[in-house]
Structure formats: C-alpha cells, structure tokens
Amino acid sequence: MLIGIDASRANRDHKSGTEWYSYYLIRWLSRLDAENQYILYTDKPLKGGLLDLTSKEYSRGEKPENGEVEFDKDGYQKIKSPHKNFKAKILKWPFNFLWTQGALSLEMLLREPDVLFVPAHALPIIHPRNSVVTVHDVGFERHCLLYDRGQIGPDARNGRRLINFLVKLFTFGKFSANSMDYLKWSTGFSLKNAKKIITVSNYSKKEIMKIYGRLKSMPPLGDKIKVIHNGYNKHIYNNLKPGAKTDEVLERYGIERPYLLYVGRLDKKKNTPALIEAFAIMRDKNKDIKHKLVLVGDADFGYDDVKYMIEEYLLEDEVIMPGWVEEEDMPFVYRGSDGFVFPSLYEGFGIPLLQAMSCESPITASRAASIPEVAGEAALLFNPRDVEEIADSMEKIIADKRLRDDLIKRGKERVKNFSWEKCARETLETINKL
C-alpha cells in the first residue's frame, strides 16, 4: 500500500504542538512499518530529522549537506529511512498561501496514493477516497475572539480582494478569505469527507460531536472518529541531573534561577496575559518569593497584550522571554525550573504537560478543556479566568514542598501512559484498517 503524508508542517523550523505531532509520527512510522511504501509531500525540501529518518531522536533543522537537494531518477527527494520505504516529493506552488488546496490537490488529481494522511485539519479538496485527517481541537468554535483573522492572499491589496471574492463565490458567500474562516471551512470539509478522523483526546472528540455531529450536512461521526493520545520524546525529556549542561543552556538563553516556566505560544488562547498578571499578584503578596517567570515560545495573536501586561506591572526585569528554544535544550530548561505553569483557556491535548512530568517539574495548570484528561492527578488545577487562583497555585508549587514532591511523583507515573511510539502504532493500525 502506498501512503502519502502531508509533511509540510513537520518540516517547519519553529515547531509547536501540531508540527511536533507530525514530525514524530513520521519518524516513528518509518521505524515501525516495513510493509507499506510512503511519500512525504512537502512545500520545501526536507531537512534535519526528516531528511534522515535513521538519525538520532531529534535533529536540528539543518539543510542538506552542501545546501544541495538530491533527487532520484523519478524526481523524488532522497531521504534515508530504516526500511528504505520512504521518499519525499516537493510540490511547487507559486504562492505563499493555500498550498494544501492548490499544490497538494493537483498532486492528488494526477498521482494519488492509496491512502492520504494529513496530520492537521486541512484535507485537500481533491483527495483519495481513503483519507485520514487529524483534527486536534475545535477551539476556534468555542473562543473565536482568541484567534487571528488575518487575510489570506498575496501582499497586494487587489490580489487579496480577488482571492476574497473567489472564496466567497466558491462558498456561496458563507466564508471569506481569512484564517478564521479557513479554519472553520477546512475542519468541516475534513470531518465530512475524510474516511477516518483522528483526534488527540476524548475531550476533543466530545467537542467535535457537540459542534459538528448535529449538522444535517454532516454524516454520522461517532464511529468515524478515533481518539489517539499524543506522546512525548522520552529519549530527550527525562530526569536529568542538575549540572554544568543545565547551567550552560540557561546561560545561553539568558535564563536566571529561580524561575517558574511556561512553554507555548505567547497569545490570547494560551492565556499568557492572565499568567503575567497572576505572577505580578503572587510577587506582590509574597515579597520573599524572588522567582522569575520564563515564557518559552514564539509571539502569536494577542502578543501586544503580553507586552502591555509586562509593562503595566513593571516586570521587564522579572519576565524572561527567550523566544523559541531548540528541543534538545528544552529538558534542561524544564529541569532548571521550580515549577511549570500551563494556564491555557483551550487545549486539544497539551504536549508540554508530558514534557514537564518527565523532567520532574511540578505542574500547576488550567482546569479547562482536555488538560484534566491529560494531567490526571499529576497537576494542581486552577480556574484559568481567576488570576487570584492562578497566583495562589503558583505560590503553592513554590512554597509547599510536600505538594511539590507529590506532584512530581504522580507525574512520573502519569507520563508512562504516553509515548510517540504508542501514538504511531495506533495511527498505523487505523490506516491499515481502511
């Protein structure tokens, strides 16, 4: 069987949840499956850990040696894989938008595989009958104001107007050419047309069923949706001992001890502005607490609010923002912290929870969406809309040693339930049953 995978997200330099999910699934499928043949579809030449699937568990995003991309006689990019059954195809597209609906659809029209697996929500308009799509969450339906509505199209204003007109024409006026409408349209299209839907938590399945399951235009979704939990890289994230390597990594990113840690995009959905306000409250109430707040991640929609809160509470010297951190350095950042705070308003899963558990960083997290399902009893939960409660929770994981030790112990047991290998095995089983 020939299985095609959309590898465009897995190939990005700065990865977050969906991109890491795509990346590690490809890596593990290459190890586990010696029977099927695979094509990785990409908008740019593959690099790093996707260029060599036999390499160590995580490879930085280096370009191919000498900057040259090697192709075989059939025009596929050469990549290494454990069973020599993976190859890549670069699908060129003249625009920097709608690659999935343009280039990938065209490829499906001309040379479709037996199965197409899309590790994120967007199924191409033209696709094989046997298509599998992962819908991670539908938070944009619950909290639409927390999502960007940036226009899709070329930089030129007239070009964007044309794209917007065509989208409205194609959807009979229901959708416009902006990122929010594309999320809504593409998710609905995938749910309706994919042969099988994977989602990453029981919570996400319930949300999909509540929002989409009752639509008259939607086929029955109950048996169509398979829940497969995410994993984490247990070869990297583990109980590292404090030492020179940790000090070296923290110094490189300008991180000062002691500190509390947050990992994720710096945006409204992740509730980062409320986290900063709660941190200010905690510091004001507890003058003996000298911890910094470290925010690891790229700026996203609502980052201006993050900056405003830092300035409003005069926290310029207390909040450290190193930006995106290489994954091989992240375990040391977790291990150097005195606690991990995860205040998100909505999550389909929350991979950083697993990483923190594995690195023995005590967790306080939001009592919202899928977070209780993933964290179990290994986190001190709070109401994400109550900054006083967030502040109290942060104080407790700093000051209460008994609580800290208990959360660490529970986390070490809880995280044993998750792995990328398990995720890939269940995904492969789902594909093989089509």
Domain extent listing, the chain: 2-231+420-432, 244-417
What are 126's two structure tokens?
A: 């033209």
66: three-class secondary structure by DSSP: helix
Beta bridge partners of 90: 42
pLDDT at 11 over 90: yes
What are 21's two structure tokens?
A: 């999910």
Residue among 24, 49, 96, 349 at smallest CA distance from 204:
349
pLDDT on residue 123: 97
pLDDT on residue 134: 98
* CATH number of the structural domain 2-231+420-432: 3.40.50.2000
Instruction: For residue 13, name the pLDDT band (cuts at 50, 70, 90).
Output: confident
* CATH number of the structural domain 244-417: 3.40.50.2000
* Biggest alpha carbon–alpha carbon distance for the chain: 68
Give, in degrees to the nearest 5, the angle at Cα 11 between 203 and 58.
85
Task: Judge if the upstream peptide bond of residue 258 is cis by omega within 30 degrees of 0.
Answer: yes
pLDDT tens column, 235-291: 889 866 666 688 899 999 999 999 999 999 998 889 999 999 999 999 999 989 999
Residue among 7, 32, 215 at smallest CA distance from 118:
7
How many Cα atoms sit within 13 Å of 34 on the Cβ side?
Answer: 2
Instruction: For residue 67, name the pLDDT band (cuts at 50, 70, 90).
Output: low
pLDDT on residue 303: 86
Spatial distance between the Cα atoms of 37 and 30, rounded to a whole number of angstroms: 10
Q: What is the pTM of this model?
A: 0.94
Cβ neighbors of 415 (< 8 A, separation 6 or more) are 232, 234, 354, 357, 358, 378
Fold match between 2-231+420-432 and 244-417?
yes
CB 92 within 8 A of CB 42: no
**What type of residue sits at position 402?**
R
Q: Tell the burial category of 40 from Cβ atoms under 10 Å away from its Cβ (0-12, 13-18, 19+).
A: buried
What are 299's two structure tokens?
A: 């700026």
Spatial distance between the Cα atoms of 389 and 401, rounded to a whole number of angstroms: 19
